[in-house]
Structures are given as structure tokens and as C-alpha cells.
A = this chain, B = another copy of it.
Amino acid sequence: MKQTLSILMMALAVTSQAFGQTNSSALSAKSLAERLGYPRDAKLLIVNTDDLGMAHSVDAAAIKGLSTGLVTSGSIMVPCPWFPEIADYARQHPDADLGLHLTLTSEWVHYRWGPVLPRDKVPSLLDPTGYLYLTEDVAAAHIDAREAEAEIRAQIERARSFGIQPTHLDAHMGTLYQNKALFEALLRVSRENRLPIRVSKDWTSRIPFLQSILKPDDVLLDGFITIDSDVPPEKWVNFYTEALKKLQPGVTELGIHLAYDDEEMRNVSFNHPNWGAGWRQRDFDFFTSDTFRRLLQENNIKLITWRELAKLMAKPAN
């Protein structure tokens, strides 16, 4: 009897998967580029700068980058001290392509923040000093996914209460991608709010739980590029140049981190060269350069925004 039930459940699972694949095939007949109204072989790029609101240096460099038109998008950290500054910018630039960089970590040892919800409502999000955890792995090991979901919902609500209409969601330091329960929370919030998230199709091979959670009508990037932490400063331009030359057709997001190498940012990141002040200045220099503009032209790369992807989610798939 036990065995019969088990076989029945397997059969149901297979049937359900088959239906899933049918749906998927029906939709994937059109590529994401085509669904957006571009040719199938178009090379489409979103250039998103992360961490807006984290420091003034970040806000100032990001705003400058967005003003050039070469940086298409940004994502905002709601719990951070300079959030009101970037919220002010967002209100004055309603067409800017700004999403939320959902935040469950506070990574700089001398400059820190807590959650948006009252601390006693989300105790699992707090390290022993009462701030959010310093690193994504320790955070994910301690966080109750229900508290994480409540917190990211509160961050979205708070952003809206400040007049921000987010066009997309992603996750600071990838904390919400660290385990299945956290990613399910992110996906649930993404679907309910009809906001696309940073997930690339090829991640399903290296993040095992993605395949079983994603649905055919989820909007997935064709690729995601961010610079590796082992690229030495003198190879920075080379890394991005090669990445742009090799860019594949479809929709790719380039995740970058703009800020200035100034006193504030140097002291925020004083013990942390990765994603530190020099790193961010190099990103700023490259993504506001004529070199980058020329590479886009030479390689027939068209810049697009998250706002275009969000339109695909504006109504349910059926």
C-alpha cells in the first residue's frame, strides 16, 4: 500500500512537471527579448548600480551615473541612513528606473543600520549588537524566513510611503538567495507586487532549489554579469571590455557599484577592499566613460531598463 501511494505521488509529480514544461514551452517560444518587442538576436543590457541610500558618496555617484544615460537603473537600500536623500531624488525623477535592494545585512563594522520593522518584531534578523548581520551567510543561518518576508514587505511599503514606485527588486549581498525558504519569500513578494527580480536563467544550474520554485511565467534574465572580486584594479577596464565584447543576445543585467573614493566611502569600507571605495570609484570611472559608450556602440548593445521588464508582469500571464 505504501509503495502504491508512493508510485501514485511520483506519477502526480511527473504529470505536474509535464504540465509545467508545456506551459514553459508555450511561453519560451518567445524569448524575453521578443516579449519586450525586440528582435530575438538583440543584445539588451540593463546597467544597475546597487546600494543607493547606503552612503552619500554612493548616492552622489549613482545620481551622476544615471544622469549620463549610461547607467540605466539603480536599487535602493531602504533601512540605510541616507535613504531620505535618494527618496528625495526618486520623487524628483519619477521616470528614473529605481528598484529596491532588499536589505538583510549591515556589512561595514564602523557604520551600521537595523531593520525597518521594530527590532522586537524581527529578532532573528539582528546580530548580538542589535544591527542586521554583517555577512549574508551568517544572516541566512540565523534568519527566520517569515521575519525576513515581513521585513522586505515593510521595506517595500516604506519605500512607497516615501514616494518611490519601485520598478524591480533585488537582494543586498544576495542574502535572499542563500536558501530555499528565503528565496521563496523573495519570489512570493516579487509575484504579488508584480516586480521582476534579479534571477538569471543560468543560475538554475548552480542554485539547486531555483528550478523547483520558478514558474514558467516568471520573468528571468538571460544573463547576469558582475565583476569578480579577484580582478586586480589594473584589469578592471579589461574585464568589462571583454564582457561587453562577448555579450550574448538576450537580456543581461550588469550589476555594478558606483561611489566615489572619498573620505566617507574610504572610512565606510576601511577594512574591506572588496566593494570598497577604490572598487566603486573604478566602477564609476568605467561606466561614465567614453570607452563604455563606444563599446556599447561597437558591439550593438542596446541599453534597456527594468521598467520594461516590469510591464511584462503588470497583468497575470493568463
Contact = CB atoms under 8 A, between A and B. Distances in A.
Interface of A: 56-57, 60, 81-85, 88, 109-114, 116, 118-121, 129-130, 158, 161-162, 260, 262-264, 267-268
A268 B264 CA distance: 12
20 contacts: A56-B110, A56-B267, A56-B268, A60-B263, A81-B112, A82-B110, A83-B112, A84-B112, A84-B129, A85-B267, A116-B130, A118-B119, A118-B120, A119-B119, A120-B120, A120-B121, A129-B162, A130-B158, A262-B262, A263-B263
Nearest to A260: B263
Contacts of A119: 118-119
A42 B118 CA distance: 50
A303 to B, nearest CB: 29
B84 A81 contact: no
A84 B111 contact: yes
Contacts of A267: 56, 60, 85
A116 B131 CA distance: 10
Nearest to A112: B84
A116 B113 CA distance: 11
Contacts of A81: 81, 111-113
B57 A82 contact: no
A110 B88 contact: yes
A313 to B, nearest CB: 29
Given A56-B263, A114-B114, A262-B262, 20 more contacts: A56-B110, A56-B264, A56-B268, A57-B263, A60-B263, A60-B267, A81-B81, A81-B111, A81-B112, A81-B113, A83-B112, A84-B112, A85-B267, A88-B109, A118-B120, A119-B119, A129-B161, A129-B162, A262-B263, A264-B264
Contact of A85 (B85, B88, B111): B111
Nearest to A122: B118
A118 to B, nearest CB: 4
A291 to B, nearest CB: 26
A217 to B, nearest CB: 35
Contacts of A112: 81, 83-84
A144 to B, nearest CB: 17
Q: Which of A81, A121, A267 has the most CB of B within 10 A?
A: A81
Q: Which 7 A-B pairs have the closest CB atoms?
A: A85-B110, A118-B118, A264-B264, A118-B120, A81-B81, A118-B119, A56-B267
A111 B113 CA distance: 12
A56 B88 CA distance: 22
A121 B121 CA distance: 11
A16 to B, nearest CB: 42
